Amino acid sequence: EVRLFESGGGLVQPGGSLRLSCAASGFTFSSYGMSWVRQAPGKGLEWVSGSGNNIYYADSVKGRFTISRDNSKNTLYLQMNSLRAEDTAVYFCARGGGTNTMDVWGQGTTVTVSS
């Protein structure tokens, strides 16, 4: 069974940093692009970053967030720096990156940016 499990969320002060992880299982991780999508409380889905043949970022996080992966550990990461209140959201990782659809999603991890 294909599974994605996010971790690393929590409460952080504005200007702080956090690193999210997404552990993948049930498929050949290295063969797939991967993405991060977030959802602010009561709001819709917002794509954050994707890693396929290339790496892409939403303008709202460009220069602050970095997507990376360790294929030996079947894990996707999102390093988030200079966090702002508007970054508060549930962060989902999803299989599929770049122009490809996101077909499998994790359950999400919550990031709260507040003083």
Partner 1 sequence: QSVLTQPPSVSAAPGQKVTISCSGSSSNIGNNYVSWYQQLPGTAPKLLIFESNKRPSGIPDRFSGSKSGTSATLGITGLQTGDEADYYCGTWESSLSAWVFGGGTKLTVL
Q: Write out the residues near partner 1 by the rule CB under 8 A.
A: 35, 37, 44-47, 50, 56-59, 92, 94, 98-99, 101-108
CB of 73 to partner 1, least distance (A): 22
Query: How far apart (Å, rounded) are the C-alpha atoms in residues 50 and 40?
Result: 18
Output 28 or 59, the one with its CB closest to partner 1.
59
| Residue type at 100 in one-letter notation | N
Output 7 or 13, the one with its CB closest to partner 1.
7
**Dihedrals phi, psi of 29, to nearest 5 degrees:** -55, -45
CB of 43 to partner 1, least distance (A): 9
What does each C-alpha distance from 64 to 48, 67, 101, 115 come to in angstroms? Answer: 11, 10, 24, 19
Output 11 or 45, the one with its CB closest to partner 1.
45
CB of 47 to partner 1, least distance (A): 4
CB of 44 to partner 1, least distance (A): 4
Q: Which residues pair with 67 in a beta bridge?
A: 78
Q: Which two tokens stand for residue 71?
A: 């294929």
